[in-house]
Amino acid sequence: MAVRGGDNSYEEDPLCCCEYVDADGQRTHLLFVGCDCEALDTIVDRLIRGQRVPQDTVTRLLRTLDDRARLPSLRPQGAVRVGIGFFCAFFFTALLLLLLSIHPVVTAILIISLPCCALFIQRTILRYWVDSRFFYYWSLWSFIWLGLLFCWINGRQLSLHAWLAMAVLYGTAMFAFWKTKRNNKFAPMCQRLASDGVGEAELCRHCDAERVARRIHCRVCDGCVDQRDHHCVWIDSCVSSANRIWFRLGLITALACALLGIFLSTSSSNFVEGRINM
């Protein structure tokens, strides 16, 4: 493999749709996703021998696979990185919807156990991989799958006003969450002075941002945020004074969209006929 540095050498030698430059600066291909991975070899070797796998080895494997999880692209830079959370969330959401459609009893059991399942997944992910975007893609795929499912169930049964109301709420929720991520502001980094410098500001030991009141460092975003409330894993963004209004708007419109969608779907003739046939 030809080694590429941090320059834009792909402009002179464009990458094909399935090629990309990995985190080590090497030009590689999507078909080599499982090749030349030291962490994977170590894990398989220790599992065969019945030995415990170190946590840092699992973390290195996840980061390597996350860097190699990409989609083909026609850009000169080659394949687009989406991360393993993109594919895991896609199949997990599809499987969850499939299980929910089996029987009302199964639906009730899954809905009751889903918060505990989400908490277990979050604790497991935070243990091995702090900055995973699995929950972000889970919420994104849920929005997409539920939107398609709503259109499939209702078809042409709804009036124009109902479709417009759903479209406005759905679009507003997506736009509000997008603005929440876009308005996530980080404090600028400062240059550290000599230890004997006069008037040296107290800096964050993680990102070198000046430490002031209500400025908190987020280990997931890897930056300091002013007046930070919390980090929302469902939109992969910190919620602070800069985007709090958009975040609340997204929550309200998403909840209204979900309630309206449930009401319209359960009152449609397709849903009623399906319940009678059961």
pLDDT of residue 268: 64
CA 84 to chain centre: 10
- How far is 246 from 28, CA to CA, in rounded Å? 40
Q: 254, exposed or middle or buried, with CB in 10 Å at 0-12, 13-18, 19+?
A: buried
Buried b (16+ CB within 10 A) or exposed e, 216-241: bbbebbebbbbebeebbbbbbbbbbe
Contact predicate 20/31, CB 8 Å? no
- How far is 252 from 229, CA to CA, in rounded Å? 18
Please report, for residues 141, 182, 188, the alpha-carbon distance to residue 123 in angstroms, rounded to integers and kept in the order given.
21, 27, 30
- How far is 82 from 100, CA to CA, in rounded Å? 27
- Within a domain: residue 164? no
Structurally, how many domains does the chain consist of? 1
- Within a domain: residue 32? yes
As a whole number of Å, the CA-based R_g of the chain is 23
Provide φ and ψ at 237, rounded to 5°.
-155, 150
- Within a domain: residue 30? yes
- Within a domain: residue 167? no
Report strand pairing: 80-81 vs 70-71: antiparallel
- Within a domain: residue 45? yes
- Within a domain: residue 218? no
- Within a domain: residue 224? no
- Domain extent at residue 14: 9-81
Q: Which two tokens stand for residue 100?
A: 């929910």
Packing angle, helices 134-154 and 160-182, rounded to 10? 170
pLDDT of residue 91: 92
Predicted TM-score (pTM) of the model is 0.76
pLDDT of residue 200: 55
- Within a domain: residue 15? yes
What pLDDT tens digit does each residue of the chain (278 aa) get?
A: 333 444 455 555 677 778 888 777 778 877 777 776 778 888 888 888 888 888 888 888 888 888 888 888 777 778 888 888 899 899 999 998 888 888 888 888 988 988 888 888 888 887 777 778 889 999 999 989 888 888 887 877 788 888 899 999 999 999 999 999 988 877 776 544 444 444 456 778 777 777 777 788 888 888 888 888 888 889 988 998 888 999 999 999 999 999 998 888 877 655 445 444 44
Contact predicate 4/26, CB 8 Å? yes
